[in-house]
Structure 1
Amino acid sequence: MDLFNESFNDSFLPLSCRRAVLTLLPKKGDLQEIKNWRPVSLLCTDYKLLSRALSSRLRKVMDQVVDRTQTYCVPGRSIVDNVSLIRDILEVSGSLGLDTGLVSLDQEKAFDRVEHRYLWKVLERFGLSPGFIAKIKASTTETLTEVLWNVLEVL
């Protein structure tokens, strides 16, 4: 814990906590096709513990800062509630003879598209402390990913 506290005072984590090793795990199918491999990032235990601690703290306030219509990954809420609401709206609309449609959008790699400066401002507006935001910044900036290649040849 001293390592994390000291690192956070400097707003910087050691390289071991910012480094991931990317490897590929085989899925079913022809392994000559890249789509049949799943990328997995291996992280050090220290970083996992830190990440879990930050996540646990954030989870305590999520229901206060995330709109009630957002149900995924918020403790005490279930995505099933929104699915049921959609089903009910379609059913009532149909019984009233209303033409109804549904558009579902899912942005691929949504987190990768988030502008971090904007994210920090949003966290500020939600009332998170500058110290907590600094901890999140320290755990997500200047990261390094190394690709483990030809693992089967090494083994």
Structure 2
Amino acid sequence: MWEEVEHAVKQIRAGKSPGCDTIRPEHLKAGGLPLFKALAQRFSRYCSEKRIPAAWKKSRTILPMKKGDLESLENYRPITLLSQVYKAVTRIILNRIVGDLDMAMSREQAGVRSGYSTLNHLHVVRQLTEKCGEYRIPFCIAFVDYRKAFDPVETNAMLNAMSRYGVDSCYVDLLEELNKGCTTEIKLFNDPCQIKICKGVRQGYTISPKLFALTLEALFNDHLSALCERLRLFAHDAIEEPGETCATAD
């Protein structure tokens, strides 16, 4: 088990900002075998009890300015800083269930998957565009860009998708606990403000892209598979290629 912890810690990139506990990736890497064994013991207990430290449910959110008008909230990019120990634990969970998650996703999903590349989808789209233009065949294509993609994901939908596609109930329950009762602190004019997180997958959460893609997979299978004759997915984006008919949407 401690080998899993060591591997997960090595996967965390150095130089990342700490969460509320002020622990940096470098601290975990310097802890060595004694720390890895201690974390392995605690992780085993968290799995059996399906409980995690309350401190892991807390995070800090900073609001760096991108560009443009300082008065417009759209020009600020919220970045959530999570505990690095928390990230290591979620990385262990991801390493254990990544096989189940990848098997559940259709071949159309090329984002956030090892061995897949969105370049293949882009090549197909380019070829279709060129050939349809060459042979004067009517061709329509709809691009869907999900705005703030991770924020609107309902926790229950995510958990149901995991159960549906065969993820072990132990990890489903643990991830439910990891997403329950979370808060983040934002400083406005140097005054801290606690905000309760009610939905969405956590930003900076190692496993978030996979969980988002899995939830999206369930959505398409349940509601859109009959509507979309050809669909290509790019993690946070989708392209629909209608067949013989063309359709437009606002």
TM-score by length of structure 1 reads 0.84
The structure 2 residue matched to 1:10, chosen from 49, 52, 57, is 49
- Out of 2-11 and 77-86, give the one that drifted further: 2-11
Alignment of 1:50-61 (within 5 A): 50-61=89-100
Conservation of the 8 A alpha-carbon contact between 2:100 and 2:167: no
* Displacement of 1:30: 4.5
- 1:26 is matched with which residue? 65
**CA distance in 2: counterparts of 1:9 and 1:52, whole angstroms:** 18
Aligned position for 2:144:
105
Judging changes above 3 Å, is the alpha-carbon distance between structure 1 residues 73 and 134 closer, same or farther for their aligned structure 2 residues? same
Asked if the contact 1:13/1:139 (under 8 Å) is kept, the reply is: yes
Structure 2: where are the runs of 5+ without partners?
1-39, 191-250
- The amino acid across from 1:99 in the alignment is P
Q: Give the C-alpha shift of residue 150 in structure 1.
A: 3.1
Could you report, residue by residue, the CA deviation over 1:64-120 in whole angstroms, capped at 9, with x for unpaired residues?
Answer: 111001101111001111111111111122222111121111222333323322322
- Letter of the 2:171 counterpart: F
Secondary structure in structure 2 of the residue aligned to 1:22 = strand
Alignment correspondent of 1:69: 108
Shift of the alpha carbon at 1:55? 2.3
1:92 aligns with one of 119, 127, 131: 131
RMSD: 2.1
Pairs aligned (count): 152
Amino acid at match of 2:103: Q
Deviations 1:27-80 (A, max 9, x none): 344534433322111111211111222222333333311100110111100111
Deviation, structure 1 residue 146? 1.4
> Could you tell me which amino acid in structure 2 is paired with residue 119 of structure 1?
M
Q: 1:115 to 1:39 in 2, by over 3 A?
A: closer
Residue in structure 2 matching 1:83, options 119, 122, 128: 122
In structure 2, the residue corresponding to 1:119 is in which secondary structure? helix
**Does the residue aligned with 1:26 lie in a helix, a strand or coil?**
coil
* TM-score, length basis structure 2: 0.55
Cross-structure match for 2:178: 139
Shift of 1:149: 2.9
Corresponding letter in the other structure for 1:34: L
Q: Which amino acid aligns with 2:141?
A: L
Aligned residue identity for 1:139: L
Q: Which runs of 5+ in 1 are unaligned?
A: none
**Which residue identity lines up with residue 79 of structure 1 in the other structure?**
T
Q: Percent identity of the aligned residues? A: 24
The 2-side partners of 1:24 and 1:105 are apart by 27
- Following TM superposition, the consecutive aligned residue runs of length 4 or more in structure 1 with deviations greater than 6 angstroms are none
Whether 2:164 is the aligned partner of 1:122: answer: no
More helix by percentage: 1
Q: Specify the SS of the correspondent of 2:177.
A: helix
